[in-house]
Amino acid sequence: SQQGEEDPQALSIQEGENATMNCSYKTSINNLQWYRQNSGRGLVHLILIRSNEREKHSGRLRVTLDTSKKSSSLLITASRAADTASYFCATANNAGNMLTFGGGTRLMVKP
Amino acid sequence: DTEVTQTPKHLVMGMTNKKSLKCEQHMGHRAMYWYKQKAKKPPELMFVYSYEKLSINESVPSRFSPECPNSSLLNLHLHALQPEDSALYLCASSQVGLGNRVFSGANVLTFGAGSRLTVL
């Protein structure tokens, strides 16, 4: 069953702008992960944030986690056309061994 | 080797056919997963094999039959499918099996590129 809800469902921006995607979830989690999927391809793991962390960075990616609000955000800075893809959050249960995916945000970066 | 390999990439089959999707990983991962994904939707979990045993079946119809011959291979046997079963089928693996209270991060999934299935 789908645990996370993402918004927006679709986002279109110009190259160089920042893109922010949000994810909300319902139950307590061990960690939250973000994945990227190019059209019709497999998902690629981007970044993981643990339930006791509030912010994490990886290159142009910044992830925040607010467990009190049960929400997370993914920020992609200085976006590139190659960032065009669908982005999914996935929450891990308390045991840390099962993932449930959110609905996804379709990001289009126009050159 | 840090890849999950899925074959075939594309499969077209009739409703009376029997076919199989195959998945292989050589990362020593102990859990393997089948997901189904429809267009513009998130992946939906179908099956999980943990330590080569079927651990989770998400109420998948019996026309889908998984098989895990060894720790590196995962098959999905297809029989008497319906047109609504057309989708992208994704295989994934993770480092540790289910049932263990794992350290955070061990359940990161490595996905294959998927098999695009069309049922006529």
Write the pLDDT tens digit of every residue in A17-64. Answer: 999 999 999 988 888 999 999 988 999 999 999 999 999 999 999 999
Test the B interface: residue of A3, A98, A100, A108 with most B CBs within 10 Å: A98
A59, A80 contact by CB (below 8 A): no
Tokens (6 digits) for A97: 């061994």
**Residue A103 phi, psi dihedral angles, 5° rounding:** -70, -20
Contacts 24+ apart (CB under 8 A), A44-47: A44/B111, A45/B108, A45/B109, A45/B110, A46/A74, A46/A87, A47/A74
Size of interface A-B (CB pairs under 8 A): 73
Angle at B6 between CA B109 and CA A85, to 5 degrees: 60
d(CA B44, CA B90): 9
Write the pLDDT tens digit of every residue in B66-84. Answer: 999 999 999 999 999 999 9
Of B6, B108, B116, the CB nearest to A33: B108
Of A33, A48, A101, the CB nearest to B43: A101
d(CA B114, CA B117): 9
Q: Are the beta carbons of B102 and A43 separated by less than 8 Å?
A: no
Write the pLDDT tens digit of every residue in A54-100. Answer: 999 999 999 999 999 999 999 999 999 999 999 999 998 777 667 88
Of B42, B92, B104, the CB nearest to A31: B104
Chain A residue with minimum CA distance to B5: A42
Q: Is the dihedral of CA B79, B21, A45, A43 positive or negative?
A: negative
